[in-house]
Amino acid sequence: MKKATLALASGDVFEGFACGASGEAAGEVVFNTSHTGYQEILTDPSYAGQIVTFTVAELGNYGVHHGDEQAPVPQVPGFVARRVCREPSNWRSDEPFLAWLTGHGVVGIEGVDTRRLVRVLRSAGAQQGIIDSSGSSAQALVEKARKLPGMEGQDLATKVSTRTAYEWNEGVLGRKPEPARHDVVVVDYGVKRGILRQLVDTGFRVTVVPSQTKASDILARKPAGVVLSNGPGDPAAVTGADRQAAELLGKVPVLGICLGHQILSLAVGGKTYKLKFGHRGANHPVRDLVGNSIDMTSQNHGFSTEEASVRGKAIVTHRNLYDGTVEGIAVPEARMFAVQYHPEDSPGPHDSRYLFRRFLQMIER
């Protein structure tokens, strides 16, 4: 096995072995605590520009199933693992995990003490880092990592967004969708296919448009509602997004998910800020302050809404029970609500699916 190095801007260096594609990967090093879903995580456009550290002991044990992707190809530059399985065992497996990674050019490192790495990221915060298997010196890699741009100020959503509008009509596999009753437009800041499938299953005809589509062009399609999707990077840096969202409010029902939640926070006059190490995992408890319940949620975000900045402008509807951060807002008079997490995912397993039905009910009222 070929040796590889992970170097962080903090000066911490981790040795391991190369897996997946050969070469170098650079980006913000973050960690995800999910025990399953590695294929969905690596293909989630919200992870663009990030190297994902998996805290689970082994990756790849159930292989890769073609059809579970959240985007056509992996979106991450690299990943970090404790161990990678070479012989997957699952009836749905179409391809071994490492073969899939190599075919898509994703650089990885395994054999890393991921517990120590996560402690570094929790203490020092998410770090810019580099995975390298070419034999470069650790110090040279650290210096190179320190020169990488941070996430703040990066408009990655525009880079991953679709270039042309398209229709989506595929529901969740094996489930019969509800008959389509309403047309919705999804603004693609890096949308996951799981969101599109849930919308179809709820009874929507779905059209996806590029992130920089003008509000007037969206409204010209006469949608019953608009969904602002998830996506990567700094919400305050997404070109024209806050203005686009502000021009939609009050004219059509709006649902925001993850980055869409942050953009709507900006649209009502609020502010966002970067979290120290973010929320990434499938075990985050969130209190629904409207329904007076607690949901187990799937999350992937590095920025959050500053609560004081939206006071008097929006109602806080959901709160993270780990750190008290804002997880949902609403402006009832503008027919808008948004959540910071991913209601299409399945921890719980279906704790947050009601949000799609709530959006349908808001439209029909």
Residue of 260, 257, 276 lying closest to 268 (CA atoms): 260
Neighbours of 244 (CB within 10 A): 23
Q: Which residues contact 53 (CB under 8 A, 6 or more apart)?
A: 29, 30, 31, 32, 79, 80, 81, 112, 114, 117, 118, 121
- The pLDDT of residue 351: 77
Looking at the DSSP bridge assignments, the partners of residue 210 are 188
- The pLDDT of residue 190: 97
CA distance 78 to 22: 11
Residue with tokens 């989506």: 168
* Structure tokens, 163: 């270039």
- The pLDDT of residue 73: 95
Q: Which of 279, 284, 301, 342 is flagged as catalytic?
A: 342
333 is catalytic: no
- The pLDDT of residue 1: 85
- The pLDDT of residue 203: 94
- The pLDDT of residue 97: 96
- The pLDDT of residue 357: 94
**Predicted confidence (pLDDT) per residue in 319-358, tens digit:** 999 999 999 999 999 999 999 999 998 776 777 888 999 9
85 is catalytic: no
CA distance 346 to 298: 7
DSSP secondary structure string for all residues of 35-65: SS-HHHHHT-GGGTTEEEEE-SS-B-TT-B-
Residue of 333, 340, 295, 292 lying closest to 314 (CA atoms): 333
- The pLDDT of residue 187: 98
- The predicted model scores a pTM of 0.95
- The pLDDT of residue 291: 85
* CA 144 to each of CA 19, 23, 149, 352: distance values in angstroms, whole numbers, following the listed order: 21, 15, 11, 41
Query: What are the structural domains of the chain?
Result: 3-146 (3.50.30.20), 156-364 (3.40.50.880)
Neighbours of 200 (CB within 10 A): 21
- The pLDDT of residue 241: 97
Q: Which of 258, 279, 284, 327 is flagged as catalytic?
A: 258
- The pLDDT of residue 115: 97
342 is catalytic: yes
CA distance 276 to 253: 33
For helices 241-248 and 259-267, what crossing angle results, to 10°?
70
CA distance 106 to 245: 34
**CA torsion angle 124 5 298 232 (round to 10):** 80
DSSP secondary structure string for all residues of 235-303: GGGSTTHHHHHHHHTTTS-EEEETHHHHHHHHHTT--EEEEEEEEEEEEEEEEETTTTEEEEEEEEEEE
**Predicted confidence (pLDDT) per residue in 214-269, tens digit:** 999 999 999 999 999 999 999 999 999 999 999 999 999 999 999 999 999 999 99
β-strands 78-80, 50-54 pairing: parallel
Q: Which residues contact 351 (CB under 8 A, 6 or more apart)?
A: 295, 296, 297
Q: How many helices (H) and strands (E) does the chain have?
A: 11, 17
CA distance 250 to 151: 32
Average pLDDT over all residues of the chain: 95
Q: Give the chain's residues under pLDDT 50.
A: none
For helices 193-202 and 354-364, what crossing angle results, to 10°?
50
